Structure 1
């Protein structure tokens, strides 16, 4: 466990925090500020998953630095508070009961669990077990979400781009409740749950899966969709090809630009999360964006 009092940039990317924040503002149409994700001594980041723990703290998965990080959302001091190094790269994470964080680790083909105390993360016992080895899935795992005592996980059964499945697990012990094939869709990544529907992002666009009928439909054909969340019934998607954060909903409550569904114009958005208490949206960017991959862009929503 590493804990930091200040976020210093000692990597090859020498951009200052102010420079990164300023460039992020220019690219994202006056975003409020940027939260530093790069810890002292680290190389460039790529934040592939993020979740709001409370209005003051975000937990992120940094795939390139193989770590989970606690970030301060304080605009006067937005930085890395602590960092938990893992043996392999994490991909996505979600909150589960008891403030445990479930994390997908594709290379280990498992879900591990972490908890936070006094702003420090540590691996914790897996539900239903006395060990910290997590739920072994035997397949690469990516997007994850929690709802109603279940974990929903995107898995890839082999290296084929056409062999994805949606796995539904019992959070209490990791037992498989259902496995749904998604072979007709390429590059499945993240998912969000809204009532009786599951939305998933992929290279084919944004998919909607109805739990009861198991009907699947592409609701948006924009390719290369990545992070996705549900906010007050709205589905918000990161789209790298459009350089946009936008809603899939036709009549979005969150529409920021008059007459449009775009919430934020930002290069190569990757993952996102939302704090309902402060009404702030947090967005990470791909390493294709250089120094902006080292911060989370913040947008104050109306």
Structure 2
């Protein structure tokens, strides 16, 4: 009997100890919750500060992918006075695709699930390059009026402020800390500017005084596995992709006979870059570590003079725009492919 009472007492003490431990653990969890919430908020803020497009970058090896055609997206509207020239595009959240229509001086917002137009806004000039910004915004270059137009991408597309730039600014991407990287074709240079328009640094020549660029129409900043980020610039007159560091110093250049007249660039993850070969009629994948360039799509997939390209890793969908000197069918659509 005494032994039984001792056992019961031991069990009771153990239960009290377990309950106390449980209460202590609950208290610790309560104390950790604010810290965990703060950490999550910091991570979300960090992701926003990087670049919205980073959310669409993938880590898969696209060089091993096969692509099948999906229904195209028609983009010409009753408000358009010309055939479309879709110079650039960007993927937004909720299956939305933002397009810069150069010939119709407009930015268009498409729903990629229904292939319907959601919004369209006229610009004070012909747009070319485009990049996403934190806070549901985008920046669009207007090279022939030497301006950068900012737009809101929250709901319908609406115009915001305009910044004047020196030169015909074509390519553009968001850098960090409210900075933009832009490429100008006349004069040919790459410039780091503040989002308000103040020039911080520019480069047009190498250390020997030789011009670095001839016609740099597009560029992109990638920050997947590069610390700090690096910049890739496509030069259509030299058939070259040029890699720069954040100090605008040349790190490397890439060429290949299968790449002619390179235009839009799109980072798709660790050391992989999509490239539009406009005169070679292909979509290529550049391995920036090895320099190897692989063709993903070509004339067999009806790729003719591609202008812009982007990839959605979540849905494994590749979007391509082409412009074939007024070939209406090709000009007025976004071609869509599924990677398998």
TM-score category (smaller protein): 0.7 to 0.9
Mapping for residues 15-164 of structure 1, pairs under 5 Å: 30-42=68-80, 43-74=82-113, 77-118=114-155, 120-124=156-160, 132=161, 134-149=162-177, 150-156=179-185, 158=186, 163-164=187-188
- The residue that corresponds to 2:231 in the other structure is 198
The DSSP-based 3-state class of the residue aligned with 1:292 is helix
What's the secondary structure of 1:291's corresponding residue?
helix
Larger radius of gyration: 2
**Is the Cα contact below 8 Å between 1:45 and 1:287 reproduced in 2?**
no
Q: Retained in 2: the 8 A contact 1:220–1:248?
A: no
User: Do the aligned partners of 1:55 and 1:278 also contact (CA within 8 Å) in 2?
Assistant: no
Aligned Cα root-mean-square deviation (Å): 2.3
Is residue 209 from structure 1 mapped to residue 244 from structure 2 by the alignment?
yes
Give yes or no for the alignment of 1:238 onto 2:276: yes
1:249 to 2:283 alignment: no
Distance 1:268 1:145 in 2: 23
Q: Is the 8 A contact 1:207 1:220 kept in 2?
A: no
Runs of 5+ consecutive residues of structure 2 not aligned to the other structure: 1-65, 206-210
CA distance in 1, matches of 2:266, 2:76: 24
Shift in Å, 1:250: 6.7
Shift in Å, 1:215? 2.1
Structure 1 gaps of 5+ residues are: 1-27, 125-131, 253-258
Report the TM-score when normalising by structure 2. 0.69
- Higher mean alpha-carbon deviation, 230-239 vs 265-274, is at 265-274
1:193 deviates by 1.6
Task: Name the structure with the higher helix share.
Answer: 2
Query: In structure 2, which of residues 189, 196, 199 is the aligned counterpart of residue 176 of structure 1?
Result: 199
Deviation of 1:121 after TM superposition, in Å, equals: 0.7
- TM-score, normalized by length of structure 1? 0.77
| 1:185 aligned partner | 213
